[in-house]
Amino acid sequence: MSRNTRYTLLTLVKGLAALEALEAVDGGLTLTELARRLKESQTVVFRVLKTLEEHGYVRHDSVSRRYTLGLRIWELGARVVGRTGLVEAARPVLKWLTTVTGQTSGLVVLRGTDVLYLDIRDGQEALRFYVEPGARAPAYGTASGKVMLAWHPERVAQVVKAGLRRLTPTTIVGAADLRRELQEIRRAGVAINRGERQPDLAAVAAPLFDAQGECVAAVGIAPEGEPHGVMAHCGSSAAGPSSISKRCARTARSASFSREQ
């Protein structure tokens, strides 16, 4: 949670908190539910919501009486993503990964202790991993998240403090174990997820660097299936870990990105 200063507009803070609360819940919230979550009076929350609704940031369903995010949020988000340069620079890599493997590939960045999916290239397989751009996941439970943490050790303490919750039997839940894994990822240049977020989901990811050599994102493939079998396939294919890393390096040399905070 951000610290309030003498420059902070508390009403704006309440509006942003309302937007974040609505984003976290599928199907929206009623005025009563949102006020309870924000620990504010319904009168205050109602005024905040009406202001946001008037500007397109919130929608209100008169039948269900629920509030949801409006399309204005999507418009701003789409413009921000487009202006980073990351999506356009990484798309050739995603296209190559999906073409070679037939599997879904994705571009992600770090946001706090999570990964944020910026772009997805759907695979051709009948059964495939599905995630929408804008979705988030715990960084420690994904290949893309781990590969970025390996190049951002200053973020690891924050992730550990937030808690390493067991998502599957193979999830890394020990701080020392996570740090050892990240050291190995840094040495190898790629990260592997062995069913650590979903039992039937494996993934391989490699970092993307900006012109200054800083890791600003990660790309990877996330096919469904038995993790060890998938990794054996990837290791022998044209989209094996070393190939992903080399292709990402070529992309980084031919493009510059703005840093994702």
Which residue has better confidence, 130 or 10?
Answer: 10
> Per the structure block, which two tokens stand in for 257?
């990105």
What residues contact 45, with CB distance under 8 A and at least 6 apart? 14, 18, 31, 34, 35, 38
Whether residue 223 contacts residue 101, with contact meaning beta carbons closer than 8 Å, is answered with yes
Name the nearest CA neighbour of 12 among 53, 51, 41, 39: 51
Query: CA-CA distances (angstroms) from residue 229 to 55, 99, 203?
Result: 50, 20, 11
Which residue has better confidence, 234 or 115?
Answer: 115
Q: What is the pLDDT of residues 125-160, one digit of tens each?
A: 655 566 778 888 999 999 999 999 999 999 999 999
Residues of the chain above pLDDT 70, percent: 80
β-pair partners for 59: 68
Count of other CB atoms within 10 angstroms of residue 136: 17
Parallel, antiparallel or unpaired: strands 136-138 and 114-121: antiparallel
How many degrees, rounded to 5, is the angle at CA 192 between CA 106 and CA 170? 115
Least confident of 13-17, 80-84, 120-124, 178-182: 80-84
Q: What is the pLDDT of residues 226-255, one digit of tens each?
A: 444 444 445 444 444 455 555 555 554 444
What dihedral angle (degrees, nearest 10) is formed by the CA atoms of 167, 169, 172, 173? 70
Whether the model pTM is above 0.95 = no
Which residue has better confidence, 226 or 65?
Answer: 65
